[in-house]
Structure 1
Amino acid sequence: MLTIGEFAQLTHLSVRTLRRYHDAGLLEPARVDQASGYRYYSAEQIPAAQVIHRLRELDVPLPDVQRILQTPDPGTRAGLVADHLQRLEDQLERTRAAVTSLQRLLRPEPATLDVELRAVPATTVAAVEATVELDDVLAWYSGAMAELDALVGTPGPPGGLYDNELFTTGRGRVLVHRPVTAPPRTGRVHPVTLPAVELAVTTHVGDHDTIDVTYGELGSWVVEHTLAVAGPVRETYLVGPRDDPDPTAWRTEIGWPVFRLAPG
């Protein structure tokens, strides 16, 4: 039998860590002396300790480590590990996006934003709309677009209208739509006539993790050019994940409703 100190030396796990694993039921000693409370381990426990160590290096939570160790089927264990690795990759992508946003925000001289003032006529579209929580927008959008695609196909780039309250209070009206000559009225899908509007339009390049930076730059442009905001922001998804799996190819038009202020 190995003392806890000897076992710690062999596995490169601290005594404190081994005690915590014992308390969590992850790696119980082979024997605990009832009189002294000393923990003793066997050499056969070294591989299990090393597996736990590697899982913890990957930030697998202790309950998930326990679930992996207690799963007898190798395929199931591999699936649990793969799920966690996917979560790590997603987190890494979010971190990279945050770094990109910071680099863009901290540039001493930001690039000039390409903005177009565009008069958009009234347009009838097939739409799905609802009042949505900000945290639920992506899931709601996916369901709404799937319903639109099933009924009207993909005649043109989809779009969305987002009320200011969605961003200011975390809950607001959202409308997604597709252009179509004769919009159907089935389920949640119904015809909507979008009113004529003048927009300050710019194009966001890439995925939506950094779209808030483009929103901020467009908002600054609107203020600097003495234009007042009026109405919900419009987005048009020229190229998105439905069109190209490469996020660098995605293009989203942001249309900020505006009107010119009178001189003075």
Structure 2
Amino acid sequence: MRAGLTVGEFSRVTHLSAKTLRHYHDVGLLEPADVDSSTGYRYYSLDQVPAAQVIRRLRDLDMPVADVRAVLSAEDVAGRNKLIAVHLDRLEAKLVEARTAVDALRDLLRRSPAGPVVEHRSVPAQPAIGIRAVIDRVDVLSWWQGALGELNGIVGAQRLHRTGPSGGLFDSDLYEHERGEAVVFVPVDGAVRPVGRVTDFVVPAAELAVTVHEGPLDDIDLTYGDLGTYAARHEIGVTGPLREYYLRDPIETSAEREWRTEVGWPIFRSDSARG
């Protein structure tokens, strides 16, 4: 009497290939009901069909093998459903990320081929308060937002007079090596009492090619690309941090589409160019 369904028969019943069934056997996810000791042939039982169907659907949803194994071995329905719900939440988060990436790509394809509107600006040195740190590129946005809030808190607490928009300086290493120095600052006048990370700071003078980025900072790399291309074609670039001025920032509005950021690229300008 046969021990059960052969691999081929079980494959037809479950729509799982022989290769997949062997893999699931090797990783302990779906072991055969019986293995012939003399031939090594594997046999499955009809009772394993529901488990195979569950495994197939969970793997179709990209659930890791370890998590599928945990679902199958869950002691009760509540525990099993909780594991599945956690994975579904992860999938939904990935769908949001994918939708954001798709929208960003479509926006890129719809961009006007016309170059950026660029202003040349001579920026004098400015007294300010600032927060300086060496950070990883992946942490820039969260660090920037926290530093900006902290600086504005000090401005209010010490009743300092703002003399211009807040801004940031970002070292080239941050982009080239994904880790580098960044400074967020608020220009002020009056006596500053350093507190925690906040110290007095002088924003250095610079000659800049400046353009404006509208909206969230997630795609500010496109504005940098436009400005950097313009600078490479029409200007003499110089060593120095890239610069941003936040004309409308998260302190003013939480609506990211309303943010307005000036991006400054350091350049060399002769006296005749200034004239």
TM-score over 0.5 (shorter chain): yes
Root mean square deviation, CA, Å: 3.5
CA contact (8 A) 1:202 1:255 kept: yes
The answer as to 2:25 corresponding to 1:25 is: no
The number of residues matched between the two structures is 259
CA contact (8 A) 2:115 2:226 kept: no
Over 3 Å counting, the alpha-carbon distance change for 1:2 and 1:142 in structure 2 is farther
In structure 1, how many angstroms separate the alpha carbons of the residues matched to 2:270 and 2:103? 40
Show CA shifts across 1:237-256 (max 9, x none): 4456774466x555432111
Over 3 Å counting, the alpha-carbon distance change for 1:221 and 1:41 in structure 2 is same
With normalisation by structure 1, the TM-score equals 0.77
- Higher mean alpha-carbon deviation, 128-137 vs 215-224, is at 128-137
Over 3 Å counting, the alpha-carbon distance change for 1:216 and 1:225 in structure 2 is same
Aligned partner of residue 135 in structure 2, secondary structure? strand
With normalisation by structure 2, the TM-score equals 0.74
CA contact (8 A) 1:205 1:252 kept: yes
Equivalent residue, structure 2, for 1:11: 14
How far apart are 1:150 and its partner, in Å? 5.2
Equivalent residue, structure 2, for 1:261: 270
Question: Which of 87, 90, 97 lines up with 1:90 in the alignment?
Answer: 97
Show CA shifts across 1:188-243 (max 9, x none): 11121213333222123454444333212212222333343352111234456774
How far apart are 1:17 and its partner, in Å? 0.8
How far apart are 1:130 and its partner, in Å? 1.6
Over 3 Å counting, the alpha-carbon distance change for 1:87 and 1:245 in structure 2 is farther
- Higher mean alpha-carbon deviation, 16-25 vs 215-224, is at 215-224
Gaps of 5+ in 1: none
The answer as to 2:234 corresponding to 1:225 is: yes
Equivalent residue, structure 1, for 2:82: 75
In structure 1, how many angstroms separate the alpha carbons of the residues matched to 2:215 and 2:9? 53
In structure 1, how many angstroms separate the alpha carbons of the residues matched to 2:267 and 2:48? 69
Aligned partner of residue 110 in structure 1, secondary structure? coil
CA contact (8 A) 1:200 1:258 kept: yes
CA contact (8 A) 2:167 2:244 kept: yes
Equivalent residue, structure 1, for 2:136: 133
The answer as to 2:178 corresponding to 1:177 is: no
In structure 2, how many angstroms separate the alpha carbons of the residues matched to 1:48 and 1:214? 52
Question: Which of 213, 228, 233 lines up with 2:222 in the alignment?
Answer: 213
Over 3 Å counting, the alpha-carbon distance change for 1:262 and 1:147 in structure 2 is closer
CA contact (8 A) 2:25 2:31 kept: yes
CA contact (8 A) 2:248 2:260 kept: yes
Equivalent residue, structure 1, for 2:171: 163
In structure 2, how many angstroms separate the alpha carbons of the residues matched to 1:150 and 1:45? 63
Aligned partner of residue 125 in structure 1, secondary structure? strand
CA contact (8 A) 2:165 2:245 kept: yes
CA contact (8 A) 2:126 2:205 kept: yes
In structure 2, how many angstroms separate the alpha carbons of the residues matched to 1:10 and 1:238? 64
Q: Percent identity?
A: 46
How far apart are 1:138 and its partner, in Å? 4.0
In structure 2, how many angstroms separate the alpha carbons of the residues matched to 1:23 and 1:76? 23
The answer as to 2:209 corresponding to 1:200 is: yes
Equivalent residue, structure 1, for 2:196: 187
Show CA shifts across 1:7-27 (max 9, x none): 222222211111111211222
In structure 1, how many angstroms separate the alpha carbons of the residues matched to 2:40 and 2:106? 49
In structure 1, how many angstroms separate the alpha carbons of the residues matched to 2:83 and 2:189? 50
In structure 2, how many angstroms separate the alpha carbons of the residues matched to 1:249 and 1:50? 49
Over 3 Å counting, the alpha-carbon distance change for 1:38 and 1:201 in structure 2 is same
